[in-house]
Amino acid sequence: MNMCAALMLFQHAYDPQAPVHGAPWLWFSIIKILVVFTVLMVTIAYLTLAERKISAWIQDRHGPNRVGPRGLAQPLADGLKNIMKEETYPSAAYSPLFILAPVMSFIPALITFAVIPFAAPLPTRWGLVDMSIADLPVGFLYILAIASLGVYGIVLAGWSSNNKYALLGGLRSSAQMVSYEVSMGLAVVSVLLLSGNVSLSSIVSSQVKTGWYFFPLLIGFFLFLVAAFAETNRLPFDLPEAESELIAGYHTEYSSMKFSMFFIAEYSNMTTASALLTTLFFGGWAVPFWTTVNTAPWHWWKTVITLVCFMLKTGFFLFLYMWIRWTLPRFRYDQLMSVGWKVMLPIALAYLVVMAGAVLALDAAGIAPTARLGGFLPTYWTLLGVLNIVLAVLVFVVLDRGRLVSPASARVGPVELAELRAMSTRRPAPVQGD
């Protein structure tokens, strides 16, 4: 009898569809921090294996296949090796910052993931638990702010090593990251125009209602993608550690676990950037064409399905990162700067003006973001998407005139072909046994 009353009181106090609060909130937050941190670190460890396997696949090799079944224990062996190796301290290094620098690049890289919503909210007996560590109301601004701190680790590593190559790498990276941060921020403003809010969970929920943003913001997506590659120092933007000219750039003087921390920071940044691309432009955890799963009332199986969906989308972008790394050559430094300031920034600014005008015009025409053309196709989404395709043609074909985009894919002209053939006939044939 008493039990029954207590149970009723209990159920009255905690509605599974209302946000969790109080002490359970604290416990759930701690659990989420531990689980997300562990999953992220294991993912990063296996990303190093994935990178090597994918590079092997692209270059028609086997890749690491000796440790464990099909090389699956390779990350463990790498981790053990990095811990056991000797740590070297250059005698001329400024040691406080030399030790601090890997930490300063490691921590921002890991804590940016905290605001990303990775699944639909989970209803428990204590209330609805958000599937992100902290759904901050400043959402995306938090990511920009913390990511902008990551540059300190790299710059200070370069400076404190007291090594010319390391310093050049550090300076390059700071110039690069500051330059591309601007276009990255501007590209995202167009997302904020459509969603009307900076918190990532509301960006996801508005994409559930109005359709994913990659189509109505096609150019914004491309700008963000390129800037994300530059911000994470991945090829074709890995100038800070260009091994052909700078040995290893900012981490030339680092060994063992301190080197490994830079490595972990890079892969962690990649993971966050992929998750962010998913969240901002590809609907986050939303499952395509399945409204039941993406909307309330929540259930645990919805959380599981959306989590898998989020992982698949993020995994695709991680694969894209590796695919591009093993496909494209590195930019020259002057090309990098001119792409950043003379191409990306003007396009981002002009695009923002055009999109703001288009959104204003659609609002003035009285088209609601949720209105659907013929009951199926979202009107708003389609109109903006068509506008973006027109803009994309303008940017990639008319404005570019084959300078940036086509060299990677275009056919070689007859004159160039003749030159290349002449070069190959001049070169002596390789001697057997060389």
Partner 1 sequence: MAYGFVYQFLFYLFGLLGIASAAIFVTRRNPVAAALWLVNTMFCIAALYIMMDAQFVGAIQVLVYAGAIMVVFLFVVMLLNLGLPPSVADIKGKGARILALLAGLVMLAEVLVIARQKLPAELPWLPSSTNITTPITEPLFRAYLLPFEITSVLLLVAIVGAVVLAKKRS
In the list 174, 271, 274, 279, the residue contacting partner 1 (rule: CB under 8 A) is 174
Number of chain positions touching partner 1 (CB under 8 A): 30
Task: Compute the least distance from the CB of residue 332 to partner 1, in Å.
Answer: 21
Q: Contact between 346 and partner 1 (CB under 8 A)? A: no
Task: Compute the least distance from the CB of residue 128 to partner 1, in Å.
Answer: 15
Contact 176, 250 (CB under 8 A): no
Cα→Cα distances 419→321, 335, 345, 428, Å: 33, 24, 36, 16
In the list 105, 161, 190, 199, the residue contacting partner 1 (rule: CB under 8 A) is 199
Provide the 10 A C-beta neighbour count for residue 299: 15
Q: Which of 231, 264, 271 is nearest to 118 (CA)?
A: 271
Query: Looking at 191-199, 294-302, 361-369, 423-431, which segment touches partner 1 (CB under 8 A)?
Result: 191-199
One character per residue 63-82, x = contact with partner 1 (rule: CB under 8 A): --------------------
Judged by beta carbon, residue 115 or residue 223, the one nearer partner 1 is 115
Query: Looking at 173-181, 274-282, 386-394, 404-412, which segment touches partner 1 (CB under 8 A)?
Result: 173-181
Judged by beta carbon, residue 182 or residue 399, the one nearer partner 1 is 182
Decide the pairing of beta strands 372-373 and 127-129. unpaired
DSSP H/E element including 196: none
Residue 378 in tokens: 């979202």
Provide the 10 A C-beta neighbour count for residue 349: 13
Binding to partner 1, residues 204-263 (CB under 8 A): none
Residue 260 in tokens: 């490994």
Judged by beta carbon, residue 139 or residue 216, the one nearer partner 1 is 139
Q: Contact between 113 and partner 1 (CB under 8 A)? A: no
Query: Looking at 75-83, 196-204, 353-361, 404-412, which segment touches partner 1 (CB under 8 A)?
Result: 196-204
Contact 240, 169 (CB under 8 A): yes
Task: Compute the least distance from the CB of residue 304 to partner 1, in Å.
Answer: 26
Binding to partner 1, residues 84-103 (CB under 8 A): 94, 96-97
Judged by beta carbon, residue 64 or residue 108, the one nearer partner 1 is 108
Q: How many residues does the chain have?
A: 434
Judged by beta carbon, residue 219 or residue 344, the one nearer partner 1 is 344
Residues with Cβ < 8 Å from 278, sequence gap 6 or more? 284, 310, 313, 314, 317
Q: Contact between 198 and partner 1 (CB under 8 A)? A: yes
Q: Which of 221, 219, 187, 217 is nearest to 381 (CA)?
A: 217
Task: Compute the least distance from the CB of residue 201 to partner 1, in Å.
Answer: 9
Judged by beta carbon, residue 146 or residue 362, the one nearer partner 1 is 146
- What does the CA dihedral 329, 330, 334, 340 come to, rounded to 10 degrees? 100
Task: Compute the least distance from the CB of residue 19 to partner 1, in Å.
Answer: 11
Query: Looking at 36-44, 49-57, 168-176, 256-264, which segment touches partner 1 (CB under 8 A)?
Result: 168-176
Binding to partner 1, residues 118-157 (CB under 8 A): 136-138, 141-142, 144-149, 151-152, 155-156
Tell me if the bond preceding 19 is cis, omega within 30° of 0: no
The alpha-helical segments, DSSP class H, found in 72-217 are 74-84, 95-111, 139-160, 164-195, 200-210
